[in-house]
Amino acid sequence: MPGPADSPLIRALRGERQDRPPVWFMRQAGRSLPEYRELRVGTRMLDACLDPALAAEITLQPVRRHHVDAAVFFSDIVVPLKLAGVAVEIEPGRGPVFADPIRTASDVKRLIRTPPAAITDASGPIREAVGIVAAELGDTPIIGFAGAPFTLAAYLIEGGPSKEHLRARAMMHADPASWHLLATWLAEVAEVFLDAQVTGGASAVQLFDSWAGSLSPADYREFVAPHSRQALGARTGDGSSELTVPRIHFGIGTGPILDDMRLDGLADAVGVDWRLPLDEAAAVLGPDTTVQGNIDPALLQAPWPVLAAHVTDVIERGRAARAHILNLGHGVPPETDPEVLTRIVALAHGEDVA
């Protein structure tokens, strides 16, 4: 019987080359949709994430509107930290802000007293929301996601968003023991959050390491990659993953570490931002990795003929990889006209788009 396992997205993640790439968009659920903005009136972001009916409806909105090939679960990378009892709020126009940044060895020891298993116990709303979506979507897969240990640590240590993540990078070298304690805990946090979504019905997962591009290759390999492997479930004795669904790994500005983003083959697909053409990325990643990307989000504001030519070029360059999932090189900007995304999907699906 057909199901998500036979969908174009999951087939692409398995490495099956298709005539046309499946397409979904990072941040497709949310700020660019008027129906989302109407639904969110009076509800704080993290409250919306933990309301199963609301989170499910927001997840479904872009699938209904754009006819994308996958839903991505509506949540936020800091939700598992909130479930662990960390004081965090998402401030409009700024992002996650933490009341008590984690900057010393004693801060780290205090934080990690909470066992990641506590998140499993608190994840009922997550599993319920994914289950609601899965029941409605049928054959269309759901992508679960989590923040990677470095990106979560960068927010925790800085206390909020930053451009260079200086405090996080400093901790790696000034107090490597505390860094590895923190990153190990965050890897387990990400893993149990992904597991909750898979248990609920997600058919694939994506690990977001949004800020990995701020690291040198040496620092990435020593201080980050082992923990990202753990987050994606690489904990069994033979090095295989405990997760039973395909895995996507994504970061911004990761050209210098793109091959490392494969995580020794644990990632079935690697997301590529807009800076590196997909044929060049495919040459780096090799014949065993699917590529995802990499429409430039800035071009969503361009005239349609310009954007359509760009999307077509991305699709053609993606043919150099074993398989290709069409996506943006980052998330959907909030000012995007939703009709533009719908037209991109139609173009990718081979429909006549004027």
Q: What is the DSSP string of 153-164?
A: HHHHHHSS--SS
For residue 84, the domain's CATH number is 3.20.20.210
pLDDT of residue 242: 61
Query: What is the extent of the structural domain holding 122?
Result: 26-290
> Which residue among the candidates 127, 155, 260, 268 is catalytic per the annotation?
155
Can you tell me the distance from the alpha carbon of 29 to that of 8, in angstroms, rounded to the nearest whole number? 20
The question of whether 31 is a catalytic residue gets the answer yes
In a domain, 1, yes or no: no
In a domain, 12, yes or no: no
Token representation of residue 9:
């997205």
> Which residue among the candidates 36, 65, 69, 76 is catalytic per the annotation?
76
In a domain, 14, yes or no: no
Token representation of residue 343:
């037209």
Task: Grade residue 2 by pLDDT with cuts at 50, 70 and 90.
Answer: low
> Which residue among the candidates 11, 14, 20, 31 is catalytic per the annotation?
31
Is residue 203 a contact partner of residue 161, using CB atoms and an 8 Å limit?
A: no
In a domain, 68, yes or no: yes
Task: Grade residue 235 by pLDDT with cuts at 50, 70 and 90.
Answer: very low
The total domain count for the chain is 1
In a domain, 210, yes or no: yes
Alpha helix positions (H), the chain: 8-13, 34-39, 45-49, 52-66, 79-83, 105-111, 117-122, 124-137, 149-158, 166-174, 176-200, 217-219, 225-231, 278-285, 304-318, 338-348
Tell if the pTM clears 0.75, that is, is over it: yes
Chain centroid to CA 196: 15
pLDDT of residue 240: 44
> Which residue among the candidates 40, 51, 175, 279 is catalytic per the annotation?
40
The question of whether 40 is a catalytic residue gets the answer yes
* Tens digits of residue pLDDT in 242-263: 668 999 999 999 999 999 999 9
* Tens digits of residue pLDDT in 277-323: 999 999 999 999 999 999 999 999 999 999 999 999 999 999 999 99
Q: 196 Cβ partners below 8 Å, 6+ apart? A: 119, 120, 123, 126, 127, 130
The question of whether 27 is a catalytic residue gets the answer yes
In a domain, 175, yes or no: yes
In a domain, 350, yes or no: no
In a domain, 92, yes or no: yes
Can you tell me the distance from the alpha carbon of 57 to that of 68, in angstroms, rounded to the nearest whole number? 15
